[in-house]
Chain A
């Protein structure tokens, strides 16, 4: 029995175990080697951050309209400001930009709707995004219907073209990829070998040769009276290239579904397409989403290569603006801007895919 004994009061943990000092000790200055690393790291940080901040913010020029407004030694963001419309829409006519804006707004709304888990009617929105929206977007962007003036594809460019190439390439590649992946797992030897050859061929060659092939060889493959738009040629090349990578992602997802699922469906008397469409693919697609997002990120970065065959995507238009004689010598600003735009898109997509991976990390892990 404890009667008169006073219980020693709780005391806060010593500062060597909690608090900022302890944190510094365990994470930064734990032992001589780590201290050395920390000091080197701080020095590198100092070397990188101080000049960057000075160049990009403190000594930068922000307002103006010509290069004469850039008098300080830092970055000349005036250049970006003056060319901003071009960087986003390419050479799209100024008076018609509202059409592109509607497409942009619709595109981002749909993406957000599909990406945010809480919003309802996912299935109908997805169907609209895949079927209805492309038609609306084409009518709006290309024109020629409903009294909208025609804007030919060689005037499309900038971020708009980058997004268009990546999205169309992706959406086109998905069904081809599914067919190829199913074919690669098929028991029919001829189907299987066709699919293997097709996939390995596209995966084995660099995208640039595919684009060269699409722009140089495709006109040879078609009857001479048929001419294909340069943008469409690039899209065909991108889609075929992407479909092979997509097929491998889908194959990975299919392999993760236990064979018992398919066997159980077969035992219920389902046909091959019912087994795949109702049992295997819905389960597999869920697990494939992170992989699909990752291939989308690499496709998004790869769209920059279309500038080599003469299309003006975001990087292409920045590169073209840099050779403008009125704005020579601002390549650093141009590249930093383009890099920032790409980085924002890719980084947010990769974060989203990591989030999905964590969210889907249940179920099949037994």
Chain B
């Protein structure tokens, strides 16, 4: 075998396409140029199309009068309000159903996920059936089911289903009594906040004392009693300054109380039940991911069973559970946009739906809608990164 002599004279540089750094630079410049050309092409087309249709761009339309009513709004809204106000109403409605959905889905999901691991065969099977049923049926179908097949077939207001003569359910929605706070009620939230502060102080003090002396009080039970007992005591002491506005049938409909529209109920039920089936799986796999040696080691230290769970298994399982859990929360909030299919006035429905149709400002409206969801996603993933960095296992 002959060894090829190095024929390259000293000082001679290889051609630029053999130099990795230069090649990367050229490739990236080409990419930037291609993307810029594509964007310019699109912008040009958009300008042509918009001028052909006589649509002016810009966000000026937000201060125009909307002229349509919204069936549920958390802030003052009438058909005389502006499109900007419409946007806010939709955003708040999205956050409302998202927040309540997250709460319900977490509760159902944790119960089902833990039941799935129960030593009780029947309970585990039932939990499994729940998961496999609701996970494999499209969410939109479930929303339609609750809305059209269940809530829309309820009796009319006259024959409402009554629960203890204070809660009524009919085709128009769910009617709940509304608490009216009288003067002097302000004391109760104040006590509540004070009790929370006192409990936090108690827990910290108890922990320090435990570490210093080995003695501990049942701090969690004491704070539980403080937080819930104290406000209750004040409530009774001040003579229960609450009256209830109970819904009443007048004519064809109920008056008074809080009305929950069926669109909200259907969306909330479907979102919670659907997402809960995913959360249950996450909880199950999170708990199973903790190796059995951890439990055994804790038992060998003769920790009681509840402490094994609380101090050993759950803190480690949470590290596995929380990242996918937050992405499920995100999914739930994004999925709440399906509201538009049944007419719940969320952001997509009132803004990307009605407002877009009335104004024709497709680009601005869709961009604003997407920006809202993107912001929520980014905030959640920032939290996720922070959380991951905080709880990450420090290995090696």
Contact = CB atoms under 8 A, between A and B. Distances in A.
Interface of A: 27-28, 30, 34, 37-38, 41-42, 44-45, 187-191, 194, 200-201, 203-209, 212-213, 216-217, 219-224, 297, 301-302, 304-305, 307-308, 315, 319, 322, 331-332, 335, 338-339, 342-343, 346-347, 350
B120 interface: yes
B136 interface: yes
A298 B250 CA distance: 47
A42 B366 CA distance: 50
B373 A304 contact: no
Given A191-B27, A319-B144, 9 more contacts: A188-B28, A206-B334, A213-B370, A220-B50, A304-B138, A335-B145, A339-B141, A347-B132, A350-B135
B149 A209 contact: no
B4 to A, nearest CB: 15
10 closest Cβ pairs, A-B complex? A204-B377, A346-B136, A27-B121, A206-B334, A301-B138, A190-B28, A206-B337, A41-B122, A204-B374, A304-B138
B290 interface: no
Contacts of A216: 356, 362, 366
Contact of B49 (A38, A189, A220, A335): A220
Contacts of B141: 304, 315, 335, 338-339, 342
A235 B132 CA distance: 28
B341 interface: yes
A208 B136 contact: no
B299 interface: no
B370 to A, nearest CB: 5
Scoring B42, B137, B337 by chain A CB atoms within 10 A of each residue's CB, the highest score goes to: B137
A126 B366 CA distance: 39
B120 A304 contact: no
A315 B373 contact: no
Contacts of A331: 144, 148-149, 152-153
26 contacts: A28-B122, A30-B120, A34-B119, A37-B122, A41-B123, A45-B122, A191-B28, A204-B370, A204-B374, A205-B374, A208-B337, A209-B337, A213-B366, A216-B362, A216-B366, A223-B48, A224-B52, A304-B139, A307-B341, A315-B138, A315-B144, A331-B148, A331-B153, A339-B142, A343-B136, A346-B137
B277 to A, nearest CB: 12
Nearest to B139: A301
Interface in B25-65: 27-28, 31-32, 35, 42, 45-46, 48-50, 52
A223 B45 contact: yes
A224 B48 contact: yes
B129 to A, nearest CB: 9
Given A44-B126, A224-B49, A338-B141, A208 B348 contact: yes
B240 interface: no
Contacts of A203: 377
A217 B55 CA distance: 13
B24 interface: yes
Contact of A217 (B32, B366, B373): B366
Contacts of B35: 194
Contacts of B153: 331
Nearest to B140: A304
Contacts of B139: 301, 304
Nearest to A334: B149
B278 to A, nearest CB: 10
A332 B149 contact: yes
B362 A343 contact: no
Interface in B320-365: 334-335, 337-338, 340-341, 348, 352, 356, 362-363
Contacts of A187: 24
B118 interface: yes
Nearest to A183: B31
Contacts of A297: 136
Contacts of B24: 187-188
A217 B374 CA distance: 18
B27 A188 contact: yes
A190 B35 CA distance: 11
